[in-house]
Amino acid sequence: MARILRRENSLLRRQNAIDRELSLRQVTRWVAWSAAAVVMMWGTAVSFRQHRPAGALAGAFALVLAAGYEVHLREIAMERRHLEGGRRGEHKMANLLAERLADDHVILNDLELRVAHERTQIDHLVIAPAGIYVIESKFWAGQLSGDVRDAQWSNRKSTGEVRTVKNPVQQCERQRRMFITLLATQVPEDRIHALAVFTHPAVELNIANGRDRVFRINDAIRFINNRCFDPPVMTPSAVLDLAERINRGQA
């Protein structure tokens, strides 16, 4: 069993912040609709007495504002659902990595990496004697189509809805290059790997040129375990030292 040096926390913090915001906005939602109803009734009465549309227009404007607030509230709720899915996927990935990798592997989750003027967020980092694995995990369902060289992919849901999503392989490759720069004298470039891993059980991958770059969970773990037989580039103590040094940089 691999050692977890850092847990995933940022999505949970963001989700908790949204929960607090939604709780507050549920109260202001009631206030917004009540105020809109009062203004609408007042405006209708004024228009009826004065035979002018100004009051009715004011009421209609109040209803539009309340409806806009409702739309914004639903957008926040949708963001929360997306965060919940992403958090479940990252948690599942972190646990399976820990369970199925060897005990000389060290896992750091939810990292923020800075190299020179570049900065990035990394879902999972596995450091092993045979190399380093930078992992971007996505909890996406449906059919994914595209090429690893494309900036965007197509994601067709089971409902038939099609959306465009950002290619996570390119983000992984950028993170990999940052580690190559950071560890140029310590780990050979060909031992630093970038893995885009899709954790949803209902995902279908139709990605061209995705070999050794685009994975389901079990395939990603198999890819890492198969490289345990490669000649080591670090001792177990060097693996732990490097992981602790990276983790200290998160403080």
Q: What is the pLDDT of residue 71?
A: 73
pLDDT tier, 98 (very low <50, low <70, confident <90, very high otherwise): very high
- 238: buried, middle or exposed (CB in 10 Å: 19+, 13-18, 0-12)? middle
Task: State the pLDDT at residue 191.
Answer: 96
Q: Note the pLDDT tens digit of each residue in 130-181.
A: 999 999 999 999 999 999 999 999 999 988 999 999 999 999 999 999 999 9
**Mean pLDDT throughout 119-133?**
94
pLDDT bin (cut points 50, 70, 90) of residue 47 is: low
Which residue would you say has higher pLDDT here, 208 or 88?
208
Range 106-124 average pLDDT: 88
Does residue 235 surpass a pLDDT of 60? Answer: yes
pLDDT confidence of 50, banded at 50, 70, 90?
low
Looking at residue 60, its pLDDT comes to 67
Cα(19)–Cα(27) distance, integer angstroms: 13
Return the number of other C-beta atoms located less than 10 Å from residue 99's C-beta. Answer: 10
pLDDT of residue 248: 85
Closest CA relative to residue 168, chosen from 125, 213, 203: 213
Look up tokens 């940022």; give the residue: 10
Cα dist. 74→62, 65, 194 in Å?
A: 19, 14, 35
pLDDT tens by residue, 3-20 = 888 776 665 566 666 667
User: Rounded mean pLDDT of 86-93?
Assistant: 78
pLDDT at 55 over 60: no
Residue 108 phi/psi, 5-degree rounding, is: -120, 125
**Pair of tokens at residue 98:** 């820990």
Model pLDDT, residue 48: 63
Has domain 3-7+102-248 been given CATH number 3.40.190? no
pLDDT confidence bin for 220, thresholds 50/70/90? very high
**The pLDDT value given to residue 9:** 63
Residue with tokens 């060897």: 102
φ, ψ of residue 148 to 5 degrees: the values are: -60, -20
